[in-house]
């Protein structure tokens, strides 16, 4: 972890290393499978995969802001917001990130960037309208802890691997449909080609499912880690708990279409944006439950009160 006064989390570090190790093994096997089935495309697949990874890693901050309609704001445009971030950076002894605002009523915030020198923190106008300065400080400390722990970069790489699975599957399927499989042996009929295509789809689905579960497990833990680091840095776990309760409660008042637009970015948000009713997202959530987060903050508050 880069130097800062945010509380280190060895559990998070070990989980990030384990997740990346397992995903690495998984995708080495997956790419090897594709190279064996479609050797004619290995160079094209490799070049595109590397290009996608480099673009997502080095330009993740710009891509996230573009996708979420955020814009960088100066201290003159948003003095209160900059003031809160200045205080947190002074407390945590970390460089100040770029500050952005997204014009949406969904109350949320996120941080992105591959390291502390290339980070950006974005807050929605909906969050700014609903939280008082102390609550906002807790939320922003939570987001900056993600940057300090470098879990934003890990999640960016991990999410890319899911994109890679889809990319390789598309290449394999298109190549097979255009006769690539049957060209290897002119005696192969349409039935054998269909079997190969089913194998490709099945393996791709399995790889995506495993990577999905691994990244979701890491995402839930990193949110608890960020809550803990923010509460210890500010010394106000109750303010963060109040912000969590308020933001979660306000989600039910947001129009469904706005929540659906925000859902793809849940892994990077302070609190998940769920549409009303049952959703598969509630089964494989990017965040721990509100009760779990509040229980941890209550425990930290008790420890701080006892001088632990």
Residue ranges in 178-306 assigned as alpha helix (H): 190-234, 237-251, 256-262, 280-283, 290-305
CA of 171: how far to CAs of 32, 136, 188, 206, 287, in Å?
14, 45, 20, 17, 33
Selected catalytic residue, list 76, 80, 117, 143: 143
The alpha-carbon radius of gyration of the chain (Å, integer) is: 22
Q: Which of 278, 286, 243 is nearest to 262 (CA)?
A: 286
Q: Which of 79, 86, 78 is nearest to 125 (CA)?
A: 78
69 marked ligand binding residue: no
76 marked ligand binding residue: no
142 marked ligand binding residue: yes
- Is residue 38 within 8 A of residue 170, CB to CB? The reply is no
Q: Give 20's strand partners.
A: none
Query: Could you confirm whether 143 is annotated as catalytic?
Result: yes
Q: Residue 100 belongs to what H/E stretch?
A: strand 98-102
Q: Which of 63, 157, 56, 52 is nearest to 110 (CA)?
A: 63
- Active-site residue list: 143
Annotated binding site: 142, 146, 223
**Which residues belong to the annotated binding site for Zn(2+)?**
142, 146, 223
């Amino acid at each position: 972890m880069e130097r800062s006064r945010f509380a280190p989390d060895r559990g998070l570090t070990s989980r990030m290393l384990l997740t990346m190790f397992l995903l690495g093994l998984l995708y080495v096997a997956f790419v090897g499978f594709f190279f064996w089935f479609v050797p004619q495309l290995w160079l094209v697949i490799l070049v595109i995969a590397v290009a996608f990874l480099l673009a997502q890693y080095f330009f993740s901050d710009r891509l996230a802001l573009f996708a979420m309609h955020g814009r960088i704001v100066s201290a003159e445009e948003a003095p209160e917001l900059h003031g809160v971030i200045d205080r947190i950076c002074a407390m945590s002894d970390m460089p100040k990130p770029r500050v952005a605002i997204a014009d949406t009523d969904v109350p949320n915030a996120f941080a992105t960037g591959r390291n502390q020198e290339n980070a950006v923190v974005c807050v929605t106008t909906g969050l700014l309208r609903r939280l008082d300065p102390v609550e906002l400080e807790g939320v922003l400390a939570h987001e900056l802890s993600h940057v300090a722990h470098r879990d934003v970069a890990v999640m960016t790489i991990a999410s890319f691997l899911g994109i890679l699975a889809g990319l390789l599957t598309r290449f394999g399927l298109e190549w097979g449909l255009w006769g690539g499989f049957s060209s290897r042996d002119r005696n192969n009929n349409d039935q054998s080609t269909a079997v190969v295509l089913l194998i490709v789809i099945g393996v791709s689905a399995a790889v995506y499912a495993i990577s999905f579960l691994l990244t979701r497990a890491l995402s839930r833990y990193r949110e608890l880690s960020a809550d803990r680091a923010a509460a210890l840095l500010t010394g106000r776990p109750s303010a963060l708990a109040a912000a969590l309760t308020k933001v979660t409660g306000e989600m039910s008042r947001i129009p469904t279409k706005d929540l659906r637009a925000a859902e793809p970015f849940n892994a990077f948000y302070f609190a998940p944006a769920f549409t009303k009713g049952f959703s598969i997202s509630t089964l494989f959530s990017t965040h721990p439950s509100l009760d779990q987060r509040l229980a941890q903050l209550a425990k930290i508050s008790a420890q701080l009160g006892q001088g632990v």
